[in-house]
A and B are shown apart, each in its own frame.
Chain A
């Protein structure tokens, strides 16, 4: 089972690399490193702040876009090219196929994020001429971004297991946008009463809470992030993405592929 999963995962990763997905890294690093000296010229005292905000936001946004645009094709492309039938005719189960695709896309996104992080540190070094202990906090923000990818990838896979690629992309982007404002939804639920309040509370817990996984502000302003928050955020992202992936497996298992 493990070998089948890793074979599908590595194949998905290789396919993404062949699709020149990682080319965005070159663009990202080049832009960041080349523009780093400019930050000092266009801003006063906020070079580091600007660099961290811009780069971490880019890592998050690039990653989400990649997750959605690759994710929507993971199942449909295999059906379209009829390669899915070849895969499933071998001793590969449907749930293994879904999990393999999930891990493969996650591997692509993690590699992407880590290489981008190296670029960020290079740009920081150019801007400030040294790295400090506070800069290590960037890794926590990047880790939270990777947790976001876990959830976005699971959601995209869920939508692509029953919908057309274009609708899967729309659903995934919409949920990403809603999830970014999940705290507002939660606050609204706390203020509302009766059925509206119950509905808002249910919606607030059903949508992914990306707001809790956004630590860019804190990191940019050298605010500490408690270890317990890191632990609970990790648990939340794992549980939520596992639940969504279980949903994707459930749908894909029952889907008529003939």
Chain B
């Protein structure tokens, strides 16, 4: 009798638990992916949440930062054009833990990039980094992020120069901060400066999503520079021979280039009829069209 009860209980345990998993999946689909995050819309502020956290605000900040990253990652994957909850999530995270530097640095990049790569809210990104600087005035990286956003997303070169200058005065700041401030003053909007900034972001960030964005910018910027350079070479060939080259081989034979030129993804550039130079797969260069021309200012 006892044996049959234990067998029935064991079978019930397995069957009921399997049933609960299936039902929970249905509940999840009914509630939607952002069910938990929607509460953010109703929260008066992170400061109130901090009081309610009974001293566990650090833990709660980590949870909110994870939520922000997951929200951003999911939205980015589905190529969303709106990221409504991102700014409130980052605000709450940094209210709960004002020393969470990664939330300012990566969060600002998430906010400043144009959709679908980011929220397209550079003003909110500036607000977030300024808040980070108020709370952590000795972190020179925050000034770098601020200058970066002013330069690349707001095209405000004076504000960018100021940010790099302020950052360069922080004890222990990277010497490149002073160089960047000078570049802003001298050159303004150039592909070379943009490439330098994105390379610095790529080399220093630990966030895979920020790194992915940096790679896309770097390959696009390098392609912009290469296309400009190759177009000049094509023009030189035309002036010498009176005709556009029909292939890269014509330019190699003329001694103008050494080999077939490749972009950073390893694919050869296309030489089109009429001498125009373009990339083989524009989908790999999402920022190609929008880049400033070299030395355009």
- Residue of B16, B20, B26, B66 contacting most chain A CB atoms (<10 Å): B20
Are A246 and B20 in contact, with the CB atoms below 8 A? Answer: no
Does residue B54 face the partner (Cβ distance < 8 Å to A)? Answer: no
Judged by a CB distance under 8 angstroms, whether B292 is at the interface is: no
User: Is A226 among interface residues, defined by CB-CB distance under 8 A?
Assistant: yes
Residue numbers of A with Cβ under 8 A of B are 93-95, 181, 183-184, 186-188, 190-191, 205, 209, 211-212, 217, 220-221, 226, 228-229, 232-233, 235-236, 239-240, 242-243, 246-247, 249-250, 253-254
CB-based contact A243/B42 at 8 Å: no
Residue pair B63, A240 in contact (C-beta under 8 Å): no
Could you give, for residues 13-33 of chain B, a 1 whenever the CB lies within 8 Å of some chain A CB and a 0 otherwise?
100110111011011101101
B2 within 8 A of A: yes
Check B2 against A217 for contact (C-beta < 8 Å): no
Q: Is B53 an interface residue (CB 8 A)?
A: no
Given A240-B20, A243-B12, A250-B13, A232 contacting B6 (CB threshold 8 A)? no
- A-chain residues with CB within 8 Å of residue B2 when the two chains form the complex: 253
Other than the given A228-B30, A249-B9, 7 more pairs (CB < 8 A) read A184-B66, A191-B73, A211-B35, A229-B31, A232-B27, A240-B17, A240-B20
Residues of B within 8 A of A184 (CB): 36, 63, 66-67
Among residues of B, the one whose C-beta sits closest to the C-beta of A213 is: B27
Q: Which of B21, B31, B70 contacts A187 (CB 8 A)?
A: B70
Determine whether the beta carbon of B6 is less than 8 Å from that of A254: yes
Return chain B residues, CB-CB under 8 Å to A191. 69-70, 73
Question: Does B5 belong to the interface (CB within 8 Å)?
Answer: yes
Contacts of A205 in B (CB 8 A): 21, 24
**Footprint of A on B, CB under 8 Å?**
2, 5-6, 9-10, 12-13, 16-17, 19-21, 23-24, 26-28, 30-31, 33, 35-36, 38-39, 42, 63, 66-67, 69-70, 73-74
B residues near A220, Cβ cutoff 8 Å: 42
The residue on A at minimum CB distance from B39 is: A217
Pull 8 A–B residue pairs with CB atoms less than 8 Å apart, ordered by A. Answer: A184-B66, A187-B36, A187-B67, A236-B20, A240-B17, A242-B16, A246-B16, A250-B6
A188: chain B residues within 8 A (beta carbon): 66, 70
In the assembled complex, the Cα of A94 lies from the Cα of B6 at a distance in Å of: 11
Taken together as a complex, chains A and B put the C-alpha atoms of A28 and B31 apart, in Å, by 31
Q: Hey, which chain A residues are within 8 Å of B33, CB to CB? A: 187
Report yes or no: B24 in contact with A236, Cβ–Cβ below 8 A.
Answer: yes
Most buried by A among B23, B31, B67: B23
Residue of B nearest to A240 (CB): B20
Partner of A247, one of B13, B21, B26, B28: B13
Complex contacts, B10 vs chain A, CB 8 Å: 246, 250
CB-nearest residue of chain B relative to A49? B42
A-chain residues with CB within 8 Å of residue B9 when the two chains form the complex: 95, 246-247, 249-250, 253
B19 near A232: Cβ-Cβ < 8 Å: no
Within the assembled complex, what's the spacing in Å between the Cα atoms of A239 and B35? 22
A243 to B10, CA, bound (A): 9
Of all A-B residue pairs in the complex, the 9 with the closest CB atoms, nearest first, are: A243-B16, A239-B20, A183-B36, A243-B17, A250-B9, A246-B12, A240-B20, A246-B13, A236-B23
Shortest Cβ distance from A55 into chain B, in angstroms? 16
Task: Determine if A249 and B5 form an interchain contact, defined as CB atoms under 8 angstroms apart.
Answer: yes
Query: Given A188-B70, A239-B19, A239-B23, do A212 and B31 touch, yes or no (CB 8 Å)?
Result: yes
Q: Chain B residues near A229 (CB, 8 Å)?
A: 27, 30-31
Nearest opposing residue in chain A for B21, CB measure: A205
